């Protein structure tokens, strides 16, 4: 499986869009960011810490185009990194999020396509992308194309069906490239303005270098809006996974939640089963539970969150990792131009195969000042603390300090 170069895709998308007569339908915005970072543990090791200064140059662009037959959005930047003490000789990457929607037959036949390129954590249960620039990570490129139809002419009913092709590529040799073919059908029935019922079915064929599988998923449920901006939903069903030449597993799946808007804050509770994209597995099933508290403040916002996830290798139907976590994020407008951010997260990873656990603390603090004329200045400090009684490599701390200047043209 080969990846398409993100820069070429980005330029091609921009070149194919004709400049419209109405400027409101088209927006093209270049930008550039320059930053300098100091880290006291660039390789995030328990012993033999090595510090370094990292210079980053990120030229980029954003493009939005809307027309009767086509919507297109592209956000891209090239990320060049220079390590002053030669910790790494070449560490450049791309960040691309390109999406398009073509209306082939008005209000009936559509074509969606997307290309997402970014650096991701190789461990599906532990996101390291905000903690390090490269440790245990790989560049990932996901290309999708989905023709589908929508029938909404029958009163109270909406029928949607189609096909989705997904190609997933990893730069790191340990990452497992995947090709997925998905046929899907969705039916929704609006009982009242507040109550709707839904049913979904999908059939997936996934091919990887590790193994091939087929998956059936079927769910039914509904959504009820019992007050303004307050609703509850629940869907349940089953998933049947068959590994070609291997075992077959049938498991219950669900997706449910509650959002209640109080006068001064909002609470969201959710739970479900999803098949998370795992760079090191053909398929990983994640069962999750989460609670989120959002409170808008007079000059900012406060977010509190707690979560639990259970990761199961579907090839063996065995639990591999449990993750518990919680934390908060506070945004505050100190002045008209100066904004501060403070965040804290604590997580615990229980690894069943090793009969061991790891604890993590993560602190993220920052200031951003709007200089005017599209310029902004940012200061960020991040502290990471890992501890494990049995896993030696999971005992280290990292201090990172960054300063950046950004210009939006």
- Kindly report the backbone phi and psi dihedral angles of residue 22, in degrees, each rounded to the nearest multiple of 5, phi listed first: -90, 110
**In 3D, which of 394, 365, 391 has the Cα closest to residue 378?**
365
CA-CA distance, 223 to 191, in Å (whole number)? Answer: 10
CB 191 within 8 Å of CB 223: no
CA-CA distance, 229 to 215, in Å (whole number)? Answer: 35
CA-CA distance, 403 to 75, in Å (whole number)? Answer: 23
Structure tokens that stand for 286 in this block? 């994640």
Could you tell me the sign of the dihedral formed by the alpha carbons of 81, 116, 293, 284, in that order? negative
> At a CB cut-off of 8 Å and minimum separation 6, what does 207 contact?
178, 179, 180
DSSP string, 117-168: EEEEESSTTS--TTT-SSTTEEEEEEEEEEEEEEE--STTEEEEEEEEEEEE
What pLDDT does 3 receive? 55
* Domain layout of the chain by residue ranges: 43-50+92-408
What pLDDT does 244 receive? 86
**In 3D, which of 344, 337, 347 has the Cα closest to residue 303?**
344
What pLDDT does 346 receive? 98
CA-CA distance, 260 to 300, in Å (whole number)? Answer: 20
Q: What is the pLDDT along the chain (409 residues), one digit of tens a residue?
A: 455 455 444 444 444 444 444 444 999 999 999 999 999 999 999 999 999 999 999 999 999 999 999 999 999 999 999 999 999 987 899 999 999 999 999 999 999 999 999 999 999 999 999 999 999 999 999 999 999 999 999 999 999 999 999 999 999 999 999 999 999 999 999 999 999 999 999 999 999 988 899 999 999 999 999 999 999 999 999 999 999 888 899 999 999 999 999 999 999 999 999 999 999 998 899 999 999 999 999 999 999 999 999 999 998 889 999 999 999 999 999 999 999 999 999 999 999 988 999 999 999 999 999 999 999 999 999 999 999 999 999 999 999 999 999 999 9
Residue indicated by tokens 């096909």: 163
Could you tell me the sign of the dihedral formed by the alpha carbons of 207, 149, 145, 282, in that order? negative
**In 3D, which of 135, 134, 36 has the Cα closest to residue 84?**
36
Q: What is the DSSP letter of 20?
A: P
> At a CB cut-off of 8 Å and minimum separation 6, what does 86 contact?
none
What pLDDT does 108 receive? 97
CA-CA distance, 320 to 325, in Å (whole number)? Answer: 17
CA-CA distance, 272 to 399, in Å (whole number)? Answer: 35
CB 321 within 8 Å of CB 313: no
> CA Rg, the chain, in Å?
23
What pLDDT does 36 receive? 98
Please, which contacts does 300-304 make with residues 24 or more away whose CB atoms are closer than 8 Å? 300/330, 300/331, 300/332, 300/333, 300/339, 301/330, 301/331, 302/328, 302/329, 302/330, 302/331, 303/328, 303/329, 303/330, 304/328
CB 39 within 8 Å of CB 398: yes
Model-wide pTM > 0.75:
yes
What pLDDT does 309 receive? 98
What's the CATH architecture for 43-50+92-408?
A: Beta Barrel (2.40)
**In 3D, which of 113, 168, 173 has the Cα closest to residue 141?**
168
């Amino acid at each position: 499986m080969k990846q398409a170069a993100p820069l070429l895709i980005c330029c091609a998308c921009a070149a194919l869009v004709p400049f419209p007569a109405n400027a409101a339908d088209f927006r093209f915005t270049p930008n550039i960011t320059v930053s300098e970072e100091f880290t006291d543990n660039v390789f995030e090791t328990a012993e033999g810490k090595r510090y370094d200064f990292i210079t980053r140059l990120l030229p980029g662009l954003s493009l939005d185009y809307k027309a009767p037959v086509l919507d297109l959005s592209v956000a891209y930047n090239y990320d060049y990194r220079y390590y002053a003490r030669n910790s790494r000789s070449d560490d450049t990457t791309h960040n691309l999020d390109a999406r398009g929607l073509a209306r082939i037959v008005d209000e009936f036949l559509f074509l969606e396509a997307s290309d997402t390129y970014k650096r991701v954590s190789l461990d599906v249960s532990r996101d390291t992308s905000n903690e390090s620039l490269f440790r245990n990570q790989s560049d990932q490129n996901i290309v999708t194309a989905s023709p589908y139809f929508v029938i909404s002419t029958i009163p109270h009913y909406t029928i949607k069906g189609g096909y989705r092709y997904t190609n997933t590529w990893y730069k790191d040799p340990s990452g497992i490239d995947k090709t997925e073919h998905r046929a899907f059908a969705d039916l929704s029935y609006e009982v009242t303005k507040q109550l709707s019922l839904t049913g979904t079915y999908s059939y997936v064929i996934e091919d990887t270098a590790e193994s091939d599988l087929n998956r059936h998923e079927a769910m039914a449920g509904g959504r009820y809006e019992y007050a303004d901006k307050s609703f509850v939903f629940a869907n349940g069903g089953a998933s049947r996974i068959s590994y070609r030449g291997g075992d077959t597993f049938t498991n219950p799946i669900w997706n449910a939640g509650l959002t209640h808007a109080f006068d001064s804050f909002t609470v969201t509770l959710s739970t479900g089963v999803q098949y998370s994209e795992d760079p090191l597995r053909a398929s990983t099933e994640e069962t999750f539970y989460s609670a989120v508290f959002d409170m808008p403040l007079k000059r900012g916002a406060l977010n509190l969150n707690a979560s639990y996830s259970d990761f199961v290798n579907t090839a063996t139907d065995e639990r591999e990792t449990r993750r518990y976590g919680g934390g908060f994020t506070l945004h505050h407008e100190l002045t008209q131009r100066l904004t501060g951010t403070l965040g804290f997260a604590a997580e615990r990873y229980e690894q069943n195969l090793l009969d061991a656990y790891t604890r993590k603390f993560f602190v993220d603090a920052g200031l951003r000042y709007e200089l005017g004329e599209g310029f902004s200045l940012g200061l960020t400090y991040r502290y990471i603390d890992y501890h494990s009684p049995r896993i030696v490599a999971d005992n280290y701390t990292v201090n990172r300090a960054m300063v950046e200047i950004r210009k939006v043209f």
